[in-house]
């Protein structure tokens, strides 16, 4: 870690930024209270320049675990924020026609730029009440069944599909297992692999395990700069390998779950840059970047003939992973 962060640990690596922001607010308030007698513009501007430099330095040298802490921030924009900021004429579609309407999955018809789309996303909620209703973004089987029913509706009308992913994983409770959690996710993967419309997937925060891939199979896969995507959480991996969650930082590095790692490995296709300091510091700018990436991606995908699109989609997932073969005798 660079000198900008001093001796701060990875748990409080944003502390230098917070301290500078606090000093700027203090000087601004002092100047306002003086009724114009104190002119502190020079000092405030110097602190703002220092803040910009420290923020850039810290966020260009983050560890995998630090990016995870950014992805998990409670003030990070969630799917409902992006729905309100990047879409017009959003009409939500409810229910799985079988059990109930899972609030952890949002689905609806919308307009993104010039494209009419079906949008499906995992929803964490923005306060304790919403998070409880949305099960903290961990979908039940009925959520995945709702998602695929709406995707098949989109296929019928030739609408491209956009998915926004932000979940620690599918809900692992007994009720979810009794209602076929694993089967629901597996069915979605099989069905999405053959849908004859373009599918664009975006991880906006957390991309945990089957919970993410249940709506995360597509022709183009994007990740926001400070998001993560992995078969297991760092805490879960550490508990299995080291028998303690205290090794979560080591697990985060080993899992190669950041956007940069996954782009290099060929798992994703594009990284969406975030405002300096993370998407939570400028939600409007983050949404604008997401919208631009989605519109650009759909522009590309809509030019590809459907038969070719499905073949490329199939080959894309056949290429995932790498291994070495040889004589082990």
**pLDDT value for 8:** 43
d(CA 155, CA 143): 19
**pLDDT value for 82:** 98
Tokens of 112: 């993104």
Nearest Cα to Cα of residue 270 among 290, 287, 285, 299? 290
Model confidence pLDDT, tens digit, residues 79-114: 999 999 999 999 999 999 999 999 999 999 999 999
pLDDT bin (cut points 50, 70, 90) of residue 300 is: very high
Listing DSSP states for 182-239 in one string gives: HHHHHHHHHHHTT-SS-EEEEEEEEEEHHHHHTT---SEEEEETT-EEESS-HHHHHH
**pLDDT value for 165:** 98
d(CA 119, CA 108): 5
Model confidence pLDDT, tens digit, residues 162-218: 999 999 999 999 999 999 999 999 999 999 999 999 999 999 999 999 999 999 999
Model confidence pLDDT, tens digit, residues 218-268: 999 999 999 999 999 999 999 999 999 899 999 999 999 999 999 999 999
Model confidence pLDDT, tens digit, residues 28-82: 888 787 877 778 888 888 888 888 888 777 777 789 999 999 999 999 999 999 9
Nearest Cα to Cα of residue 212 among 235, 179, 189? 189
**pLDDT value for 25:** 84
**pLDDT value for 143:** 97
**pLDDT value for 329:** 58
Span 291-310, mean pLDDT? Answer: 97
First to last CA, the chain: 44
Q: What SS3 class is residue 27?
A: helix
Tokens of 204: 């906006």
d(CA 205, CA 115): 24
Nearest Cα to Cα of residue 279 among 123, 99, 67? 67
**pLDDT value for 306:** 96
The number of CA neighbours under 13 Å toward the Cβ of 158 is: 3
pLDDT bin (cut points 50, 70, 90) of residue 2 is: very low
3-state SS string for 83-138: HHHHCEEEEECCCCCCCCCCCCEEEEEEEECCEEEEEEEECCCCCHHHHHHCHHHC
**pLDDT value for 54:** 82
7: pLDDT strictly greater than 60 = no
- 85 burial via Cβ count (<10 Å: 0-12, 13-18, 19+): middle
**pLDDT value for 43:** 84
**17, 54 contact by CB (below 8 A):** yes
Q: What is the bridge-based pairing of β-strands 105-112 and 115-122? A: antiparallel
**pLDDT value for 11:** 57
* pTM of this structure: 0.87
**pLDDT value for 13:** 78
């Amino acid at each position: 870690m660079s000198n900008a962060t001093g001796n701060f640990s990875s748990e409080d690596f944003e502390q230098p930024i917070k301290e500078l922001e606090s000093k700027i607010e203090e000087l601004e308030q002092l100047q306002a209270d003086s009724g114009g007698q104190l002119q502190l513009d020079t000092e405030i501007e110097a602190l703002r320049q220092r803040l910009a430099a420290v923020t850039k330095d810290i966020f260009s040298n983050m560890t995998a675990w630090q990016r995870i802490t950014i992805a998990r921030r409670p003030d990070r924009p969630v799917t409902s924020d992006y729905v309100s900021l990047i879409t017009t004429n959003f009409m939500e579609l409810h229910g799985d026609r079988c059990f109930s309407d899972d609030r952890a999955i949002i689905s609806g018809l919308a307009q993104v730029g010039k494209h009419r789309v079906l949008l499906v996303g995992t929803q964490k909620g923005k306060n304790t009440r919403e998070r409880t209703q949305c099960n903290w973004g961990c979908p039940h089987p009925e959520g995945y069944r709702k998602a695929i029913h709406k995707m098949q509706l989109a296929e019928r009308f030739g609408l491209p599909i956009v998915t926004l992913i932000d979940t620690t994983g599918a809900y692992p409770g007994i009720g979810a297992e009794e209602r076929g959690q694993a089967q629901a996710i597996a069915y979605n993967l099989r069905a999405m692999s053959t849908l004859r419309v373009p599918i664009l997937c975006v991880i906006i925060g957390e991309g945990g395990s089957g919970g993410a891939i249940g709506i995360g199979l597509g022709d183009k896969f994007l990740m926001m700069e400070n998001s993560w995507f992995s078969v297991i959480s760092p805490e879960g991996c550490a508990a299995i390998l080291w028998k303690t969650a205290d090794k979560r930082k080591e697990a985060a590095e080993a899992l190669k779950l950041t956007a940069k790692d996954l782009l290099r490995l060929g798992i994703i296709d594009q990284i969406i840059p975030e405002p300096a300091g993370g998407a939570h510091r400028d939600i409007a700018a983050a949404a604008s970047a997401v919208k631009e990436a989605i519109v650009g991606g759909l522009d590309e995908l809509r030019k590809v003939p459907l038969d070719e699109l499905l073949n490329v989609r199939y080959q894309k997932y056949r290429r995932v992973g790498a291994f070495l073969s040889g004589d082990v005798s």
